[in-house]
């Protein structure tokens, strides 16, 4: 199914050391949010916000890829393209795919206006197994922003689910002078929508000015999870999750957290045939437009993660299905760490599982992508007394509080892949970093720490998913 052109484009860019080898990204050019993520008759379909003409953000199309294991992907033709003179003439923004009585149906936001400021909700369906898509002739199906929003420009990213014979839809938005808002609708046919009320309203001083890309799903017997991507005035965009109970279309929050302390944004979830809730998210770049233009590509998707809740209602995440591309394995036995320990192994495509004991006064972690002259490295460091994770690359630093229970070990899972490092700590704190190694030279791995004790270290060299 891989077209000649996309294979050639991939080959041409494959020598770029910054380009991930086992994470999904398009053959070339720009990608942002995952869209329409769905398992359909055993195959996973991933759509994505895509500018097929440039490595920079632009007129949004829906790219499309398919996979049977969520790791190996084949490119398919564009699924949605803006139509001049229609509700989506400026862009086909984010949305979801649902099974409408056997007919795959996309609900997405169409945009119009010089600044995409007219945002309405549109439908498209497929009659050839999700390959080609026909837009509903009477699009848009929903255009009025609820008056309580006090604004009409931010109203997008439908997330739709079915309960009995009723469809429910969430839209990301904001309430003027208040903060982000998620509006709840219902429908019997995906076409006529009735507004119910806000599912949740934010606070612009605390959690962003616009809430985008909502997800809402039941994750345990009595707990529902709402995920929102909060757009801030400072462009320090953050993904929040809220856990609570849901009854009679009302959501009562009992706890909340940050889904990722780094570059992961606009995640989308889907449920699989084993009833697992799987999340995939856009790993934003942290480099200039000039660098993206020179590279010819921009944007990566995370490795899909299976979600769960722990007894304290914290969202837990575990990367899926990587065994099939794990290559050479390196194992290190338990040992004290009081200085840098360089390992024999080198590489920029690694799956790492490091477990440290929680030594009272210690600090521990790893340095990756280390150049011989010591000028470049990514350090991932846990400070036990401060209970803080610190991730540093060049002049950038990211931090997250990781509170460990007494005696709890620190478990670092790191998916290093070119310019991507997905870091998940004790399955419950995620910090996705980007790094931009300046050469394809050898990149070392070091254990770092003081007064630390390594319990075990396992590292796998990862194969490319593009053959």
Q: Which of residues 216-245 bind ligand DQQ (CB under 6 A)?
A: 229
> 174 vs 413, which CB is nearer to ligand DQQ?
174
Question: What does the alpha-carbon distance between residue 130 and residue 106 come to, in Å, rounded to a whole number?
Answer: 10
Separation of CA 47 from chain center: 13
33 classed as catalytic: yes
If one asks whether residue 60 binds ligand DQQ (CB under 6 A), the answer comes out as yes
If one asks whether residue 213 binds ligand DQQ (CB under 6 A), the answer comes out as yes
* Long-range contacts of residues 134-141, Cβ cutoff 8 Å, at least 24 apart: 135/80, 135/83, 135/86, 135/88, 136/191, 138/191, 139/86, 139/87, 139/88, 139/110, 140/87, 140/110, 141/190, 141/191, 141/192, 141/193
User: Of the candidates 312, 443, 318, 467, which has an alpha carbon nearest to the alpha carbon of residue 378?
Assistant: 443
Question: What does the alpha-carbon distance between residue 121 and residue 109 come to, in Å, rounded to a whole number?
Answer: 5
> 34 vs 198, which CB is nearer to ligand DQQ?
34
For ligand DQQ, which residue of 6, 39, 49, 204 counts as binding (CB under 6 A)? 49
Helix (H, G, I), strand (E, B) or coil at 435: coil
Catalytic member of 33, 88, 351, 417: 33
Please tell me the total number of residues recorded for the chain in this structure.
Answer: 467
Query: CB 108 → ligand DQQ: shortest distance, Å?
Result: 8
For ligand DQQ, which residue of 20, 33, 413, 422 counts as binding (CB under 6 A)? 33
> 28 vs 121, which CB is nearer to ligand DQQ?
121
> 94 vs 426, which CB is nearer to ligand DQQ?
94
If one asks whether residue 88 binds ligand DQQ (CB under 6 A), the answer comes out as no
* Long-range contacts of residues 316-323, Cβ cutoff 8 Å, at least 24 apart: 316/427, 316/428, 317/279, 317/424, 317/427, 317/428, 317/430, 318/424, 318/427, 319/413, 319/415, 319/422, 319/424, 320/70, 320/71, 320/278, 321/69, 321/70, 321/71, 322/22, 322/71, 322/351, 322/415, 322/462
If one asks whether residue 212 binds ligand DQQ (CB under 6 A), the answer comes out as yes
Query: CB 342 → ligand DQQ: shortest distance, Å?
Result: 39
Query: CB 137 → ligand DQQ: shortest distance, Å?
Result: 23
Give me the half-sphere count of Cα atoms (radius 13 Å) on the Cβ side of residue 79. Answer: 37
Question: What does the alpha-carbon distance between residue 159 and residue 60 come to, in Å, rounded to a whole number?
Answer: 18
Query: CB 95 → ligand DQQ: shortest distance, Å?
Result: 8
For ligand DQQ, which residue of 22, 48, 93, 167 counts as binding (CB under 6 A)? 93
> 32 vs 263, which CB is nearer to ligand DQQ?
32
> 153 vs 187, which CB is nearer to ligand DQQ?
153
If one asks whether residue 94 binds ligand DQQ (CB under 6 A), the answer comes out as yes
For ligand DQQ, which residue of 65, 181, 266, 295 counts as binding (CB under 6 A)? 266
If one asks whether residue 156 binds ligand DQQ (CB under 6 A), the answer comes out as yes
Q: Is the CA virtual torsion 324, 329, 334, 336 positive or negative?
A: negative
Query: CB 393 → ligand DQQ: shortest distance, Å?
Result: 23
Query: CB 60 → ligand DQQ: shortest distance, Å?
Result: 5
The answer to whether 193 touches 185, Cβ cutoff 8 Å, is yes
For ligand DQQ, which residue of 6, 18, 28, 32 counts as binding (CB under 6 A)? 32
Catalytic site positions: 33
Binding site for ligand DQQ (CB under 6 A): 32-33, 49, 60, 93-94, 109, 156-157, 212-213, 229, 265-266
């Amino acid at each position: 199914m891989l077209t000649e052109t996309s294979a050639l484009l991939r080959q041409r860019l494959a020598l770029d050391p910054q380009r991930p080898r086992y994470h999904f990204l398009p053959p070339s050019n720009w990608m942002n949010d995952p869209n329409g993520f769905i398992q359909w008759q055993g195959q996973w379909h991933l759509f994505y916000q895509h500018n097929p003409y440039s490595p920079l953000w632009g007129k949004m199309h829906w790219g499309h890829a398919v996979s049977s294991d969520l790791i190996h992907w084949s490119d398919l033709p564009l699924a949605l393209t803006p139509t001049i003179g229609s509700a989506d003439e400026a862009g086909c923004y984010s949305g979801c795919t649902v099974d409408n009585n056997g007919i795959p149906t996309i609900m997405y936001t169409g945009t119009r206006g010089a600044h995409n400021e007219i945002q309405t909700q549109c439908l498209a369906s497929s009659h050839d197994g999700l390959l080609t898509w026909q837009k509903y002739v009477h699009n848009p199906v929903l255009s009025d922003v609820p008056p309580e929003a006090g604004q009409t420009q931010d109203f997008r990213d439908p997330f739709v689910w079915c309960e009995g014979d009723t469809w429910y839809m969430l839209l990301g938005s904001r309430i003027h002078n208040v903060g982000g808002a998620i509006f709840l609708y219902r429908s019997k046919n995906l076409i006529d929508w009735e507004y119910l009320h806000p599912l949740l309203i934010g606070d612009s001083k605390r959690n962003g000015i616009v809430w985008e890309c909502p997800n809402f799903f039941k994750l345990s017997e009595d707990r529902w999870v709402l995920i929102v991507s909060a757009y801030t005035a400072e462009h320090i965009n953050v993904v929040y999750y809220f856990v609570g109970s849901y009854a009679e279309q009302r959501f009562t929050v009992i706890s909340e957290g940050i889904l990722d302390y780094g570059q992961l944004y606009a995640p989308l979830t889907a449920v699989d045939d084993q009833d697992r809730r799987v999340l995939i998210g856009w790993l934003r770049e942290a480099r200039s437009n000039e660098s993206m233009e020179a590279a010819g590509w921009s944007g990566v998707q995370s490795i899909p993660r299976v979600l769960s809740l722990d007894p304290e209602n914290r969202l837990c995440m575990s990367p899926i299905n990587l065994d099939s591309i794990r290559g050479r394995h390196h194992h290190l036995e338990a040992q004290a760490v009081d200085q840098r320990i360089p390992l024999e192994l080198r590489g920029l495509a690694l799956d790492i599982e490091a477990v440290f004991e929680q030594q009272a006064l210690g600090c521990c972690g790893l340095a990756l992508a280390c150049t011989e002259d010591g000028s470049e490295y990514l350090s991932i460091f846990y400070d036990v007394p401060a209970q803080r994770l610190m991730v540093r690359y060049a002049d950038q630093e990211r931090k997250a509080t990781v509170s460990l229970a007494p005696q709890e070990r620190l478990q670092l899972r790191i998916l290093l892949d070119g310019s991507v490092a997905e870091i998940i700590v004790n399955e419950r704190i995620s910090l996705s970093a980007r790094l931009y190694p300046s050469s394809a030279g050898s990149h070392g791995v070091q254990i770092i720490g003081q007064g630390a004790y390594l319990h075990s270290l396992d590292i796998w060299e990862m194969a490319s998913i593009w053959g």
